[in-house]
Structure 1
Amino acid sequence: MTASLAIDGGQPVRDSFLVFGKPCLGEEEEREVLDTLRSGWIGTGPKALRFEQMFAEYVGCKHALAVNSATAALHLSLLAAGIKPGDEVITSPLTFAATANVAIHAGARPVFADIDPATLNIAPENIERAITGRTRAIIVVHFGGLPCQMAEIMEIARQHNLTLVEDAAHAVGARYNGRLIGNLGNLACFSFYANKNLTTAEGGMVTTDDDAMAERIAVYRLHGLSRHAWQRYASRRLMLSDAIYPGYKYNMPDLLASLGIHQLRRVEDGLLTRERYARVYDEAFAEIPGVRLQPRPGDGLNRHGLHLYVLVLDLAHFRVSRNQIIDSLLAENIGAALHYRALHMHPYYRDTFGYEPEDFPAAASVGESILSLPLTPCISEQDAADVIEAVRKVLAGYRR
């Protein structure tokens, strides 16, 4: 007999709620933050610079520029690439709204290219079909941390003289053909939001080998000024700052960078832990009818970043919608989440650009059938067991 679901009044699997994406912060971060507070300088300064240098060395690129979000990183990348009104930027419809929003912020039109339904990443052949005379850039999304087919996409960008931006918000630590994500396209943009593999509470980073783009981003991110506050303060003499561009307030303060310095040192160990729990999930879910997993490379050269562990449901096997299934998991005290509804199904993109669900059928289908499960280095063996028990319980309770 199937156990009564908590949403229907039954006993939940857990007594306490398992938070999705709980950050793993330790004494090193606490000491560094306290040191920053006591230093008298909490804005953008020496620790942000140190974090940038560490991150550039980690991913293997010339420049890393810290900003206050991945959204800012993406926006500045398009501006540095010269994207302007009338241009088109191709991206995936299965992503967070910011990926497409930044094209609009730059005055361009976001153009979607459908995903590969197996990998959940943008399909190179669909990018090729979406290119027009107005296309100026491609933003690829490494969904969940799984690298896109970068060799094919880089060749498309080269042939059509397009700027290639990587939305690597999920992909800290991910590898493609032996190279860390962050030095493949022209620019790569990372998120350090609270639930990411590396967190600064809020924050992001742009990486690039292009000196001119790096210089533009450095100026754009802080009001378009030629010198920022720390440069003026550290000089101990009057140093005038000129407004070169109409810039933005996108800088990362030292208080946040203090977290990043130590978070970066833990990325590789954290990814090993994520992989261990992901293998436990894989074994538990692989044989459940109506459940499909995102593939993970196992060849040693390519590595999934495992920011997200997702299930894609075949809803023909269940009596209720994906949303009801997530609600039921939440009632079992499991912090399940949704990443993402396809953007062309959202009112703004649907109404502004006249999109229909069938325009990008793979993204539309996945966007109505995908869910994410808790997976961080902070969860315990018992937490993982509770996730498995709750998923089995809920899916069994709703099976046709």
Structure 2
Amino acid sequence: MSSEFRTNIKPIPYGRQHITEDDIQAVIETLQSDYLTQGPKVVEFERAFAAYVGAEYAVAVSNGTAALHLAALALGVNEQSRVITTPITFAASANCVRYCGGTVAFADIDPETALLDVDKVKQMLESKPKGYYAGIIPVDFAGNPVNLEAFRRLADEHGLWVIEDAAHSPGGYFVDSKGEKQLCGNGNYANLAIFSFHPVKHIATGEGGMITTNDGKLYNELLKLRTHGITRDPNLMEENHGGWYMEMQELGYNYRIPDMLCALGISQLQRADAGLARRKEIANVYDNAFEGSPGIEVLGTNPDAFDAAGETGHAYHLYVIRVEDRKGLYDFLREHGIFAQVHYIPAHTMPYYRGLGYGKGDFPEAEHYYSQCLSLPMYPTLTQQEQEFVIEKVKEFVG
């Protein structure tokens, strides 16, 4: 395919939302209803999303970062808490611990998958007395699901909680030791899981997030925390003065999400399976194109994410390759209208975390991965012609 293809077409981003006429009508109908915020669409979205991931409860919030913050608060993170997470993630996965005054303890990644390395976490835990660490926040990076059963086993042994950062992986799954599929966010192994509905994610609401759990006590705590720590449930109040009465029982936040965004989320959720299937098709085309290509390494999938039929539970929020001259390829693709992206700059190398004692060289696998990684365009509306052009240009540069 010739490069002339690009002359009259919009640039190709690494990710893009897909808004249909049904989405638009869903939002319009809500705008014309009696509720703009905290109306019936919030609960409808929560119930539909909980069913989608197989969890008992879901709490919709204003964004994925708010979801992480509330999850940490609900689990009691405070100034004495030390929490383990990965440096290869968006900063919010670590920042939520800092919001609560806790200490972030990074662990290195598995070089094959860029996921938090469970063996390195085990070494960290065994090097300290029980009680030293409070919890673990594994991340389903790029849509590649972690084996939460393995992290749950470690957590139970050392008395820890687990928050699954599943922002990249609605619809993803791993296969547990019994051969059963475990959907990301289903709550069977993590105390809480979080999702994001940023425009480049699988489900887009503009901004928005969700927390899922199977723990009714945590669910009720989250409902209070997202609304200033206030409850209107008479069964939870210390006293009741009448129908108007509410109680602020603790310090919470205004992390609510509007009804109109939930209406968009409900509409988007109805196409989630089709969108995920398309992402897997795109990944398969990339896989076949790059197989055996010298100088191009595709980021590996967690072996535990394949079922008995060989189907993958990878949700493909991102499609990541590794090349030696990453900066050169990044610039070359941009020159041709292909806006690939880097995910992520290791969190421990950021000035803020360096100021807390971390530095370059602390996690060599994460830093080596960062020096080579590039996320190629991956979204359901990516056309065959566009993808072929991306593949052509990657091979042209690397070749």
TM-score, scaled relative to structure 1: 0.89
The one-letter code matched in structure 1 to 2:152 is M
Q: Secondary structure at the match of 1:290?
A: coil
- Partner AA of 2:40 in structure 1: P
Give the corresponding residue for 1:7: none
Query: Helix, strand or coil for the counterpart of 2:134?
Result: strand
The answer to whether the 8 Å contact 1:14/1:333 transfers is: no
Tell me the SS of whatever aligns to 2:12: coil
1:97 aligns with 2:91: yes
C-alpha distance in structure 1 between counterparts of 2:84 and 2:48, whole Å: 31
Which residue of the partner structure matches residue 373 of structure 1?
376
Q: Which whole-Å CA distance do the structure 1 matches of 2:20 and 2:6 have between them?
A: 29
For 1:181-208, what per-residue CA distance to the aligned partner results, in whole angstroms no more than 9, with x for missing partners?
Answer: 1123110000110100111111110000
Per the alignment, in what secondary structure is the counterpart of residue 371 of structure 1? strand
Residue 238 of structure 2 corresponds to which residue in structure 1?
A: none
Helix, strand or coil at the partner of 1:170: coil
Residue 393 of structure 1: CA displacement? Answer: 2.3
Separation in structure 2 between the aligned mates of residue 307 and residue 199 of structure 1, nearest angstrom: 12
The Cα shift of 1:325 comes to 2.1
Match of 2:236 in 1: none
Query: 1:162 matched to which residue of 2?
Result: 160
Q: Answer yes or no: is the 8 Å Cα contact 1:44–1:252 preserved in 2.
A: yes
Structure 1 residue 325 and structure 2 residue 329: aligned? yes
- Aligned positions of 1:207-218 closer than 5 A: 207-218=212-223
> What secondary structure does 2:164 align onto?
strand
- Once the two structures are TM-superposed, the CA of residue 19 in structure 1 deviates from its matched residue by 2.4
Partner deviation per Cα, 1:108-162 (whole Å, 9 max, x = no partner)? 0010010000011011111112234421110000110111122211100111110
Candidates 318, 321, 329, aligned match of 1:311 = 321
Query: Once the 2 structures are TM-superposed, how far is the Cα of residue 41 of structure 1 from its aligned partner?
Result: 1.2
Aligned to 2:300: 295
Rounded Cα–Cα distance in structure 2 between residues aligned with 1:120 and 1:59:
24
Q: 1:146 — aligned with what? A: 144
Among all aligned residue pairs of Structure 1 and Structure 2, give the percentage whose two residues are the same amino acid: 38
1:168-317 matches, within 5 Å, as 168-177=166-175, 178-183=181-186, 184-227=189-232, 238-296=243-301, 297-299=305-307, 300=309, 302-313=312-323, 315=324
Q: Which position in structure 1 is the counterpart of 2:347?
A: 343
Counterpart for residue 36 of structure 1: 30
CA distance in structure 1 between the partners assigned to 2:374 and 2:43 by the alignment: 37
Structure 2: distance between partners of 1:41 and 1:152: 44
Match of 2:362 among 359, 362, 376: 359
Aligned mates of 1:263, 1:158 — CA distance in 2: 36
SS at match of 2:248: coil
TM-score (norm 2): 0.90
Any conservation in 1 of the 2:174–2:306 contact (CA below 8 Å)? no
Paired residues, number: 373
Distance in 1 of aligned mates of 2:13 and 2:312: 29
Could you tell me which runs of 5 or more consecutive residues in structure 2 were left unpaired when the two chains were aligned. Answer: 176-180, 234-241
SS at match of 1:257: helix
Shift of residue 59 of structure 1?
A: 1.2
**2:109 corresponds to which of 115, 121, 129:** 115
Q: Deviations over 1:17-48 (max 9, x none)?
A: 11221111112111110001100311121001
Which one-letter code corresponds to 1:275 in the other structure?
K
Amino acid at match of 2:55: C
Gaps of 5+ in 1: 4-9, 229-236
CA distance, structure 1, for counterparts of residue 219 and residue 331 of structure 2: 44
The AA in structure 2 aligned to 1:343 is: A
Q: Secondary structure at the match of 1:39?
A: coil
Match of 1:60 in 2: 54
Q: What SS does the corresponding residue of 1:358 show, helix, strand or coil?
A: coil
Counterpart of 1:395 in structure 2 is 398
Separation in 2, partners of 1:28, 1:327: 37
